[in-house]
Structure 1
Amino acid sequence: MKNDTPKKGGPARKPAAKKPAPAARDFEGERIAKVMARAGLCSRRDAESWIEQGRVAVNGKTLTTAAKNITDKDKVTVDGKPLSTRERTRLFLFHKPRGLVTTDRDPEGRATVFDYIAEKNPHLPRLMSVGRLDINTEGLLLLTNDGGLARVLELPSTGWLRRYRARANGDTDQARLDTLAKGVTIDGIDYAGVEARLDRVQGANVWITLGLREGKNREVKRLLEHLGLATNRLIRLSYGPFQLGEMAEGVVEEVRTRVLAEQLGGSLAEQAGVDFDGPVVDRTPEPERADPRERTGPRPKRPRQESVRPRQESERPRQAGERPRPDRERPRQDRERPLSERATKKAQPGTEKPRARKHVSALRSDRAEAEKGQRRRIESAATEDRKGRKVVVERVSAVARRGEAGAEEAADTRNARRFKAEREKTEGRADKGARTGKTARGKHKPSGETGAAKFFRRDAAPKGGAPRKPRGK
């Protein structure tokens, strides 16, 4: 046993100073880089680089290291601007075309997935991929704005099955494909069991469907090379419960929050630290207003906008049987003018509108009003026309009032004499027809002869001919 008693004549030893225990606050909250990545500002690697450059401050103090935990009470600023509020956890399905690299920045200058999405869909937040696809691999790619969710979904321990369809050049059979189910080791790398099924043979190529759960770098191509096949096309069909389906190439579709919560379950959601109650930031860019001086084509038509002015009492539609009101017949601008201005308002020369022609009924009513109060003389006579039909003729003429000029009386007298002459002339024709024994229809009137006389007269010889023979002889 060690004796701490100092020796005689020697210096006394001081007890070792205890290190202060770390404050509980140092273990609260989340790392600053993680918070910045969840806010959609940048990746964790970029956040750590920004902190080293002195661009990030917490509660007014510039950070020099990324080993810092913060809580919701801390105020974080990046380049002097406050950190945006954490957005709701969102997941997107993307049909990746061939020729795009799944990375934020490519040192070789090739087109990236995120540049393609930002150009086609500027309203989406900053996204990160769940796993990666090679430049020549096409198909389903999961994208999310939550780094925690992306990390959890790409872990092999999550156990989500990923299905691929590969076209490879070479010859194989189902028995050789079944050897991949037990797992293989290639170049010192262990690959877990893979489900492989031979779909069809197309000339020198074969189509194979594979299902794996690890998703290591170039795993499918290396497994097929192990069997002597050269992959010339690779399509990812599904990732866990999410399917590519009939989605068009280059299209991005968002998974509903309710569906995402159901597929994750409670354990994965808690492990990823998702937030389904946060807000959704609207990033739709405002349309740019073109300079009218630079317009080369025709002026676009302005959309028709309905007035939001409340309808006035004078503008309401007239009900059935309601009498028109004078103030409602005038234009609105005229009703709002003072009464003195309305009375003195005169039409400018050359601006008069042509009057509308009156209807026949209106003309008749005007004539009746003009003739109201005049005495009328009605003359009637019965006569016959040339065919013997009796016709009753009436003539209505206005009698001049007392004190009026005698010209009208003379005109009435002249018309009366003319009407009398026409009547006498018609009656004379009727008397002449009676004397000749003809009716109006031109037939002989009955002469009163007996039947025998009528018989012999009918048998008389006509003028200039032989006598007729009596009937029956």
Structure 2
Amino acid sequence: MKSRLQKVMAQAGLCSRREAETWISSGRVTINGRPAVLGQVADTDVDKIAIDGRPLQMRLQRVYLILNKPRGYTTSLKDRHAEHLISELIPSKFGRVFPVGRLDKETSGLMVLTNDGLLAHHLMHPSYAVPKVYEAWVEGVPRRAHLARLTRGIQLDDGYSHPRDVRVIRTESNRTLFSLTLTEGRKREVRRIFESIGHPVISLKRVAFGSLTLGGLGEGDIRPLTHREVKELYTLVEQPQRKNSKNRRDDRSSEYTQSRFTARGVKYPGRAAISTRQSGHTVGNTRRNSGRDYR
């Protein structure tokens, strides 16, 4: 069956689709001995695909992992300038896997790693609106006017940021603990959101990715996902979220902003909070093998 070349490379677990496009453009990829071009299709059963002269090996065994990333680790597999890399935390028995999205060096928490390039591409794409939940300690106690800004959306230098859910978990004399749900993955987005209201982040942790949570996974520990957890990730990306097609970074429509956010207020302890799991994410027929590691 023919597929676009960058899709084939991603399915082989070599790289993401975007990386594959770069490799193709730079002349590193050939099909049947001829340089490949962007948009070209190939059939792995018929065509001979090579990267840097080496035949493409399609991986049949997929690996899906969850990592509780500690602070101080860079989300990269290779970086000679980094003091610590997340690759140091991945046992060699899992082979080559890559992170789904990034957490900055000073952010801890849940990361998904896989060699399934197609799934990773969909989970990271904003059109699927996969929810990520963060807990952030911030300096001071924000006023209600600042909290209202969070629920309406914050203008950042690369467009509006629209948190799906904002809750105050706990307040102390000089700091506040927030829970924040985002469906995009922009660079340092949570930190920039709180900086914009004058309450910088003290510490930040991702506690959920879609339906996945850390549970009892210790800091620095890693484990394979169960069969059920993998199916739930696939369910998240069965279809793009139509409502998210309007949620572009340069969308400054007041009508859209008001319709989406003015009906929602900040959730304080003791009030019902909107669930971070999207409706329709139940997985049927998972009683068999529901606890099996999926490697």
* 1:390-412, Cα deviation, whole Å (9 max, x unpaired): xxxxxxxxxxxxxxxxxxxxxxx
Is the contact made by 1:183 and 1:193 (CA closer than 8 Å) also made in structure 2?
A: yes
* 1:347-383, Cα deviation, whole Å (9 max, x unpaired): xxxxxxxxxxxxxxxxxxxxxxxxxxxxxxxxxxxxx
Is the contact made by 1:166 and 1:233 (CA closer than 8 Å) also made in structure 2?
A: yes
Q: Report the TM-score, using the length of structure 2 for normalisation.
A: 0.70
Task: Select 2:74's aligned residue among 71, 91, 101.
Answer: 101
Is the contact made by 1:261 and 1:269 (CA closer than 8 Å) also made in structure 2?
A: no
Q: Could you tell me how far apart the structure 1 residues matched to 2:23 and 2:128 are? A: 32
Q: Which amino acid aligns with 1:41?
A: L
Q: Could you tell me how far apart the structure 1 residues matched to 2:185 and 2:19 are? A: 25
* Larger fraction in strand: 2
Task: Select 1:40's aligned residue among 13, 38, 57.
Answer: 13
Alignment of 1:373-384 (within 5 A): none
Is the contact made by 1:174 and 1:197 (CA closer than 8 Å) also made in structure 2?
A: no
2:278 alignment counterpart? none
* 1:272-296, Cα deviation, whole Å (9 max, x unpaired): xxxxxxxxxx9xxxxxxxxxxxxxx
2:237 alignment counterpart? 268
RMSD: 3.0
Q: Could you tell me how far apart the structure 2 residues matched to 1:67 and 1:79 are? A: 19
1:100 Cα deviation (Å)? 1.5
Q: Could you tell me how far apart the structure 2 residues matched to 1:83 and 1:161 are? A: 34
Task: Select 2:165's aligned residue among 171, 195, 219.
Answer: 195
SS in 2 for 1:179: helix
1:54/1:157 CA distance change after superposition, 3 Å: closer
1:159 alignment counterpart? 129
Q: Could you tell me how far apart the structure 1 residues matched to 2:180 and 2:133 are? A: 6
* Larger fraction in helix: 1
Alignment of 1:55-454 (within 5 A): 56-59=29-32, 61-63=33-35, 65-72=37-44, 73-78=46-51, 81-106=54-79, 108-113=81-86, 115-117=87-89, 120-173=90-143, 176-187=146-157, 189-265=159-235, 268-269=237-238
1:310 alignment counterpart? none
The gaps in structure 1 that reach 5 residues or longer are 1-27, 272-281, 283-473
SS in 1 for 2:138: strand
Q: Could you tell me how far apart the structure 2 residues matched to 1:196 and 1:45 are? A: 32
> Percent of pairs identical after alignment?
34
1:430 alignment counterpart? none
1:75/1:171 CA distance change after superposition, 3 Å: same
Q: How many residues align?
A: 241
1:76 Cα deviation (Å)? 2.3
1:177/1:55 CA distance change after superposition, 3 Å: closer
Is the contact made by 1:180 and 1:195 (CA closer than 8 Å) also made in structure 2?
A: no
Q: Could you tell me how far apart the structure 2 residues matched to 1:106 and 1:182 are? A: 38
Is the contact made by 2:132 and 2:182 (CA closer than 8 Å) also made in structure 1?
A: yes
| 2:3 paired with 1:30 | yes
1:217/1:109 CA distance change after superposition, 3 Å: closer
1:90 Cα deviation (Å)? 3.7
Q: Could you tell me how far apart the structure 1 residues matched to 2:129 and 2:25 are? A: 37
2:287 alignment counterpart? none
2:292 alignment counterpart? none
1:232 Cα deviation (Å)? 1.5
Q: Could you tell me how far apart the structure 1 residues matched to 2:234 and 2:26 are? A: 37
1:256 Cα deviation (Å)? 2.2
1:64 Cα deviation (Å)? 5.4
1:79 Cα deviation (Å)? 5.1
1:257/1:190 CA distance change after superposition, 3 Å: same
Q: Which amino acid aligns with 1:268?
A: V
Q: Report the TM-score, using the length of structure 1 for normalisation.
A: 0.45
The gaps in structure 2 that reach 5 residues or longer are 241-294
Q: Which amino acid aligns with 1:235?
A: K
Q: Could you tell me how far apart the structure 2 residues matched to 1:156 and 1:45 are? A: 14
SS in 2 for 1:123: helix
Q: Could you tell me how far apart the structure 2 residues matched to 1:88 and 1:161 are? A: 27
Is the contact made by 2:163 and 2:181 (CA closer than 8 Å) also made in structure 1?
A: no
Q: Could you tell me how far apart the structure 2 residues matched to 1:195 and 1:45 are? A: 30
Q: Could you tell me how far apart the structure 1 residues matched to 2:16 and 2:121 are? A: 12
1:174/1:160 CA distance change after superposition, 3 Å: farther
Alignment of 1:6-25 (within 5 A): none
* 1:216-240, Cα deviation, whole Å (9 max, x unpaired): 2212111111221111100001011
Is the contact made by 1:174 and 1:198 (CA closer than 8 Å) also made in structure 2?
A: no
Is the contact made by 1:55 and 1:62 (CA closer than 8 Å) also made in structure 2?
A: no
Structure of greater Rg: 1
1:175 Cα deviation (Å)? 5.8
1:97 Cα deviation (Å)? 0.9
1:86 Cα deviation (Å)? 2.8
2:288 alignment counterpart? none
Q: Which amino acid aligns with 2:41?
A: N
Runs of 4 or more off by more than 6 Å in structure 1?
none
Q: Could you tell me how far apart the structure 2 residues matched to 1:215 and 1:83 are? A: 30
Is the contact made by 1:96 and 1:140 (CA closer than 8 Å) also made in structure 2?
A: yes
Q: Which amino acid aligns with 1:260?
A: V
Q: Which amino acid aligns with 2:64?
A: L
SS in 1 for 2:130: coil
